[in-house]
């Protein structure tokens, strides 16, 4: 049975795009600003909850809030899908509003998070943020008004739900990739700007940065706001892709996945993050038991491939990091305009003068 590219490519494209945004946001916070935000899933989930709550309630209102259908159950989801298909402008508008609101609310929570970040560093900050992510998941799981509690919110329709079924996912994948690419360019420009160098100074020596008159708490807050806003966007995109919200989906492994992408790809290098996200997306696919069937290979080993999958992924990551501890693409000097000019001036000289040392690491 041949592989169905109409399913596979949108799946890979969407997954990669969402992973990339999440990993970029972690790279800005950790790779550049030195803030190990291991509670990444918390901000990701905020985006999901915002998008889910806004979209489901708005569509429910458009449906006239039918009293005979339970809002939280699958039947309620079916009603919302029907409304979305009948009102393309409404669902597209809700999607755009959800993305904007997810970014804003995510950024606001990122700003709040900067308060513990002022007092805690390194491992302690990471542990606090992991705990925040877990606590919020348990809270949302037990408090229905936010995201339906244990029932979740079904019926968060894809913004292109009104298109033919086979086209919906493909169009959405393209949109996610465009948004991811836009945020990739944004991340590069941000970290190559004076603000990016300020972030690196904070990472390399916060005390020295403060001595030079930099307002380090404010810089940390901004970095966390930007990263958290991006994670919020990723969460909203995820929810519109899977078309429902379950608090139980937002578990710490999501944060660690983003960390792995950045570390495998190369810390403080957005190209590395891109490679890391692509690598992990690919690795996830090729270790799936269903993968050989894409090539008409139906091998039934004496053990279940599902059991060796996680082991295989772990071994591959360990091997990569053993031989490339700096990541697949290590950190490089900042590409400032001054550096480009210096390079240009150095290049024509035939006397093979060595390239001038870039002006510091930051």
Partner 1 sequence: MAMEEQKPRKWSPILIVLIALVIVLAGALGWALVQLAAPAGQARVTYTIGGAIAVTGAAYQTDGPIRRDAAILAVDQMNAQLEAAGSPVRFVWTNENTAGTADGARAAFQLLAAAGVKVVVGPLSTGEVSAIRDFVTQNKIVSISPSSTGVGPAIPNDYVFRAPPTDIPQAKALAQLVDDLGYDEVAIIARNDDYGRGFADLFESRMETVYSGTVLRIMYATDATDLATEVSQLNANVQSLGPGANTAVLMVAFEGDGLEIVDEARLQANLRGVRWFGSESTRRSAFLNESAVPQVVQFLLDTQFTGFFATPPVNPVTTAFEQAYTAAYPGRDPKKSPYSYYSYDSAWLAMLSVLAAGRYDGEAIATALPGVAEKFIGASGHKMLDANGDAIFADYTGWRVVRDATTNAPTYQPFALWRFATEELEFF
Residues within the interface to partner 1 (CB under 8 A):
1-4, 7-8, 11, 73-75, 77-78, 81, 138, 141-142, 149-152, 154-155, 165-166, 168, 242-244, 246, 248-249, 285, 288-290, 293-294, 298, 300, 304, 306-307, 309
Considering the complex, what minimum distance in angstroms separates the CB of residue 304 from partner 1? Answer: 6
Which residue in 182, 175, 196 sits closest to 29, CA to CA?
Answer: 196
Tracing tokens 């009948």 back to the chain, one arrives at 86
- Compute the distance between CA of residue 22 and CA of residue 44 in angstroms, rounded to an integer: 8
Which residue in 361, 181, 330 sits closest to 262, CA to CA?
Answer: 330
- Compute the distance between CA of residue 185 and CA of residue 177 in angstroms, rounded to an integer: 12
Q: Are strands 244-245 and 153-154 parallel, antiparallel or unpaired?
A: antiparallel
Closer Cβ to partner 1, 32 or 246, answer by number:
246
Closer Cβ to partner 1, 21 or 223, answer by number:
21
User: Quick one: tokens of 354?
Assistant: 């060595």
Considering the complex, what minimum distance in angstroms separates the CB of residue 288 from partner 1? Answer: 6
User: Quick one: tokens of 57?
Assistant: 């309630």
- Compute the distance between CA of residue 200 and CA of residue 118 in angstroms, rounded to an integer: 17
Q: How far is CA 138 from the centre of its chain?
A: 21
- Compute the distance between CA of residue 148 and CA of residue 154 in angstroms, rounded to an integer: 9
Considering the complex, what minimum distance in angstroms separates the CB of residue 196 from partner 1? Answer: 34
Closer Cβ to partner 1, 29 or 169, answer by number:
169
Closer Cβ to partner 1, 49 or 246, answer by number:
246
Considering the complex, what minimum distance in angstroms separates the CB of residue 267 from partner 1? Answer: 27
Whether 196 contacts 280, CB under 8 Å? no
Considering the complex, what minimum distance in angstroms separates the CB of residue 251 from partner 1? Answer: 8
Closer Cβ to partner 1, 289 or 330, answer by number:
289
- Compute the distance between CA of residue 362 and CA of residue 352 in angstroms, rounded to an integer: 26
Closer Cβ to partner 1, 175 or 226, answer by number:
175
């Amino acid at each position: 049975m041949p592989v169905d590219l109409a399913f596979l490519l949108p799946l890979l494209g969407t997954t990669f795009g969402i992973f990339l945004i999440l990993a970029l946001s972690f790279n800005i916070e950790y790779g550049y600003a030195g803030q190990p935000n291991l509670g990444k899933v918390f901000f990701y989930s905020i985006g999901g909850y915002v998008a889910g709550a806004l979209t489901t309630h708005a569509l429910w209102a458009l449906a006239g809030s039918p009293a005979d259908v339970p809002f939280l159950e699958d039947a309620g989801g079916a009603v919302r899908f029907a409304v979305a298909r009948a009102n393309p402008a409404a669902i597209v508008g809700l999607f755009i509003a959800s993305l904007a609101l997810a970014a804003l609310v995510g950024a606001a929570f990122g700003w709040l998070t900067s308060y513990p970040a002022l007092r805690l560093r390194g491992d302690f900050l990471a542990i606090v943020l992991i705990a925040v992510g877990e606590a919020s998941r348990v809270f949302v799981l037990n408090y229905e008004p936010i995201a339906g509690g244990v029932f979740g919110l079904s019926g968060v329709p894809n913004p292109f739900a009104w298109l033919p079924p086979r086209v919906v996912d493909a169009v959405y994948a393209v949109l996610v990739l465009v948004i991811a690419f836009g945020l990739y360019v944004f991340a590069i420009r941000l970290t190559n700007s004076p603000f990016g160098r300020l972030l690196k100074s904070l990472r390399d020596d916060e005390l020295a940065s403060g001595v030079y008159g930099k307002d380090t708490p404010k810089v940390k807050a901004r970095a966390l706001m930007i990263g958290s806003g991006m994670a919020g966007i990723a969460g909203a995109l995820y929810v519109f892709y899977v078309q429902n919200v379950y608090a139980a989906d937002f578990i710490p492994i999501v944060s660690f996945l983003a960390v792995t992408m950045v570390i495998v790809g190369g810390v403080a290098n957005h190209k590395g993050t891109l490679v890391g996200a692509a690598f992990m997306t690919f690795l996830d696919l090729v270790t799936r038991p269903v993968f050989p069937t894409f090539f008409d290979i139906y091998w039934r080993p004496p053990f279940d491939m599902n059991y060796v999958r996680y082991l295989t992924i772990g071994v591959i990551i360990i091997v990569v990091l053993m031989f490339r501890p700096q990541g697949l693409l290590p950190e490089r000097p900042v590409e400032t305009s001054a550096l480009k000019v210096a390079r240009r001036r150095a290049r024509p000289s035939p006397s093979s003068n060595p390239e001038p040392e870039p002006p510091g690491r930051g």
